[in-house]
Amino acid sequence: MQSKLHVKKGDTVKVLAGDSKGQQGKVLEVLVDANKAIVEGINIVTKHSKPKAKTPQGGIIKTESPIHISNLMVVDATGKPTKIGRKLDKNNKLVRYSKKTGEVIK
């Protein structure tokens, strides 16, 4: 059984650990099987690519590398990192909410 993750695509997150500690960015993709996420402008790595038909130039390419979701914390509307909870709203639909402010996170 797959457990729910506290991070979704489009969330703004703050990095808690690693070389990019303290930086904020937007989640571009969540890799559910690996429990990792790719965050815009965070955990940049350089890759050396040979010239190919698709990229005839080749060279050094900088790209975002996945970061484990345990090192990410969602930033709420106030701009502060917060824990995420789940609760049923008035329509009996499960929604995520900020444990700091109690507001529903879209």
- Residue 81, in any domain of the structure: no
Q: 18-59 pLDDT, tens per residue?
A: 999 999 999 999 999 999 999 999 999 999 999 999 888 889
- Residue 101, in any domain of the structure: no
Q: Say how many C-beta atoms besides its own lie within 10 A of residue 86's C-beta.
A: 10
Domain count, the chain: 1
- Residue 26, in any domain of the structure: yes
Q: 69-86 pLDDT, tens per residue?
A: 999 999 998 889 999 999
Answer yes or no: are the C-beta atoms of 35 and 29 closer than 8 Å.
no
- Residue 39, in any domain of the structure: yes
- Residue 2, in any domain of the structure: no
- The pLDDT of residue 75 is 94
- The pLDDT of residue 36 is 95
- Residue 35, in any domain of the structure: yes
pTM summary value: 0.81
Task: Say how far apart CA 69 and CA 29 lie, in whole Å.
Answer: 11
- Residue 50, in any domain of the structure: yes
- Residue 30, in any domain of the structure: yes
Domain containing 72 equals 12-76
- The pLDDT of residue 88 is 93
Task: Say how far apart CA 43 and CA 23 lie, in whole Å.
Answer: 10
- The pLDDT of residue 106 is 80
| CATH number (domain holding residue 61) | 2.30.30.30
Q: Give the ranges where the chain is alpha helix by DSSP (H).
A: none
Q: Cα 19 to chain center, whole Å?
A: 15
- The pLDDT of residue 1 is 46
At residue 65 the predicted structure's pLDDT band, cuts being 50, 70 and 90, is very high
